[in-house]
Structure 1
Amino acid sequence: MIVDMHCDSILAAYVNRYSLAEQSQDGHLDLHRLRQAGVKIQFFALFPGIAPYMNPLQQVLLLGDFFWEQLASEGVYWDVITFGRQLLDVLHGERSGAILTVEGGEALLGNIRLLSVLYRFGVRSLCLTWNNRNEIADGVDETKTGGGLTSFGRDVVKEMNRLGMLIDVSHLSERGFWDVLELSEAPIIASHSNCKAVWDHPRNLTDDQIRGIAQKGGVVGINFAAELVGPPGCGLEYLYRHIDHISSLVGDDYLGFGSDFDGTERLVRGVKDVNSFQEIIAMLIKNGYSEATLRKICSDNCVRLLRQVLL
């Protein structure tokens, strides 16, 4: 059983006009290929990347409506997980589960009530920023100010704790990261981030940040995007370095997958689409990872977090 903590496949399907409900070779995944690959729970991001002139909230709602429409198609055995009991139904049943997320708190338009609106819409995780600054905090590309959470951002963190939503710190500035870690009463995730000690990329996490997530009981989702893994042309051996670095640093209870499928034009060499999960697992087995550790990385760590946070 696999849980993948991040993909941008809703946006890719919407913009390129193909259906996630039909099995095809479009994009890195569809709902049928996910099930064939053993993915039991997939986090689907609503990323407002349709067009820069469109209101970000409008984009999120359009993408969400498009996805709900896909789920209503005949022969699709997926449910959106919104509460703990639905999580248990998916884990112990035949159907698969989707976690709806929003990538970029600009969709809130600076209005805390819109967080509740998104919650009622089915969203259960918010990536506080993308790379740029918004009303919540600075993103990783805002290098001049070194800003962390704003007053509004602090309200967002508190309200997400109250509602039962996963706080995602991928793309967030380092100062913002530490603000969230100090303020949040619940574990946090970095849904699709790698290790700066292995590959020095602005989107990757320092060892101190990884330790902080672990101490909070959170999870880091390993990203398959080539630019976050290693030098041009690097393959699965570099992806393994990131996994093994976190495991060596904090143990195997804080690791997961956050593929970033359909959110990058270049996946690490050896990863083509969702079917490559089995090759990654085979690589870990080859490197001596036990069945118990594999189960933690593939699903158990993230499931433990969902059980804890979802109401």
Structure 2
Amino acid sequence: MHRKCLIIDGHQDTSVRRFARKENPESWMKRDMSYHVDIPRLTEGGQRYTGLFLVEDATATDLWTITEFLLEQIDTHPDKLMLVLSSRDAVRAGETGKVGVLLEIEGPARWLDGNVNILRILYRLGVRCVHVTHGEGGSEPTFLQGSRSVFGPCTPRDREAQRKDFVGLTPFGTEVLRTQNELGIIVDLSHANDKAFFDVMEHTTQPPIVSHTAVFSLCNHNRCLTDDQIKALAAKGGVMGIVVLPEFIDTDPQRATIDRIVDHIVYAADLVGIDTVGFGSDYDGFSSPPIVPDVSQLVLLTQAMLARGLTEEEIRKFWGGNFLRVFSQTIDKPAR
């Protein structure tokens, strides 16, 4: 069953983490258990995988360097890697046993610097997913949201109180959103504050994603989605990617298990339908031991979903079908 699924991972950080450690560019071509992800493990056992690969770290210089690194790796290893610019590319990567690479940017304010035309340049280089923020925000005209996001555990009452203080999309953020919709660049709301989240829902003309998150009702953390956010995302045809990061799955580390991940999948599916639920590991983006130890062991999650009674069709949608639909409604559109 697992090998039949096209896996689309909404977010993982291995390229940025390796860059930060100044690794040899070829290092990820070998098994290395100090990381959650490497190319051999991505396709181990016939697994078919496309991931959204992060291309920026702390500075604009890092953005260009990591983008260059990934594009060079794709050119150097055409038998193993494939640049994903469309939904068909993601399918073809799986059919040919290659790892699909979709370029993603998480902290846009620091590299756009108030100039939306840089987004058009990145589009030409192959970037197809851009976040509203990596938590940054403020009154400066270069920010896309008007106040910073909050990160950490919180009670439902605190979450509601925070919403009154958040400032949503700035004029520049609205311009960037409009340009993303125009070009066919996926809008990712993973780190957006709640006001910016709902502003995007009001103005976007294409389905957004929340690439790496979980359900707030099951784990009271600011990075998890509340029920009203999940419903709003579903109404727009968007997808939330469920993480393997323990802190987002349960406030009690002892309860952060694979079965608890399935609880999040089932909760969201019961709330709005399985079409809104996908996978977003955040592998190599955190220091805690992941619940699913590494990318070669994702079959454990498939087994847990089958044991819970999810159908093969539901599991295929979770692993990649839902993100593939969003690709077809966003990046497949010809840029205007």
**Quick check: TM above 0.5?**
yes
1:227: which partner in 2? Answer: 247
Whole-angstrom CA distance in 2 between matches of 1:242 and 1:85: 29
Secondary structure of 1:72's partner? Answer: helix
2:259 & 2:283 partners in 1: Cα distance? 19
Return 22-31 or 218-227, whichever deviates more: 22-31
Helix, strand or coil: the match of 1:117? Answer: helix
Q: Provide the C-alpha distance between the structure 2 equivalents of 1:110 and 1:225, rounded to a whole number of angstroms.
A: 33
Q: Is contact 2:178–2:204 with CA below 8 Å preserved after alignment?
A: yes
How do 1:83-122 and structure 2 match up within 5 A? 83-106=86-109, 107-122=111-126
Question: Does the CA-based 8 Å contact 2:242-2:264 persist in structure 1?
Answer: yes
Q: 2:149·2:193 contact (CA, 8 Å) conserved in 1?
A: yes
Q: Does 1:292 align with 2:313?
A: yes
Secondary structure of the corresponding residue to residue 240 of structure 1: helix
CA-CA distance at 1:222 after TM superposition: 0.3
The match for 1:58 among 48, 57, 61 is: 61
Residues 20 and 184 (structure 1), Cα distance of their counterparts in 2 relative to 1, 3 Å cut: same
Q: Matched residues in 2 for 1:139 and 1:204: separation?
A: 16
* Contact 2:209 2:238 (8 Å CA) reproduced: yes
Query: Which residue of structure 1 lines up, in the alignment, with residue 325 of structure 2?
Result: 304
Offset of 1:218 from its aligned partner? Answer: 0.6
Local SS of the residue matching 1:204: coil
What is aligned with 1:258? Answer: 280
Equivalent of 2:269, from 233, 237, 247? 247
Cross-structure match for 2:12: 7
Deviation at 1:290, TM superposition (A): 0.6
Q: Contact 2:50/2:90 (CA < 8 Å) preserved in 1?
A: no
The alpha-carbon deviation at position 215 of structure 1 amounts to 0.6
Corresponding residue number in structure 2 for 1:52: none
SS at match of 1:28: coil
Rounded to whole Å, the distance in 2 between the matches of 1:145 and 1:161 is 28
Q: Please state how far the C-alpha of 1:262 moved relative to its aligned partner.
A: 0.3
The equivalent of 2:304 in structure 1 is 283
Residue 159 of structure 2: aligned partner? none
TM-superposed CA distance for 1:58, in Å, is 1.4
Q: For the residues of structure 2 that align with 1:74 and 1:114, how far apart are their CA atoms?
A: 28
Q: Which moved more, 1:222-231 or 1:144-153?
A: 144-153
Decide which moves more: 70-79 or 97-106: 70-79
Deviation, structure 1 residue 292: 0.8
2:51 maps to 42
TM-score computed with the length of structure 2 as normaliser: 0.85
Give 2:155's aligned residue: none
1:212 aligns with one of 232, 245, 249: 232
Deviation of 1:204 (Å): 0.7
Q: 2:78 & 2:96 partners in 1: Cα distance?
A: 16
For structure 2, the 5+ residue unaligned runs are 1-5, 152-161
Query: 2 CA distance for matches of 1:280 and 1:86?
Result: 25
Corresponding position of 2:154? none
Equivalent residue of 1:172, what SS?
coil
Q: What code does the residue aligned with 1:296 have?
A: K
Letter aligned with residue 113 of structure 1: N
Q: Distance in 2 between matches of 1:118 and 1:85?
A: 21
Q: Specify which of 31, 40, 44 is matched with residue 23 of structure 1.
A: 31
Moved more, 244-253 or 127-136: 127-136
**Letter of the aligned partner of 1:44 in structure 2?**
F
Which has the larger displacement, 95-104 or 256-265? 95-104
Residues 81, 99 of structure 2: 8 Å contact kept: yes
Note the aligned Cα RMSD (angstroms).
Answer: 1.9
Q: Residues of 2 paired with 1:21 and 1:164: CA distance?
A: 31
Superposed displacement of residue 85, structure 1: 4.9
Contact in 1 for aligned 2:87/2:324 (Cα 8 Å): no
- If the length of structure 1 is used for normalisation, what is the TM-score? 0.92
Conserved in 2, the CA contact under 8 Å of 1:222 and 1:255?
yes
Structure 1 residue 88: deviation in Å? 5.0
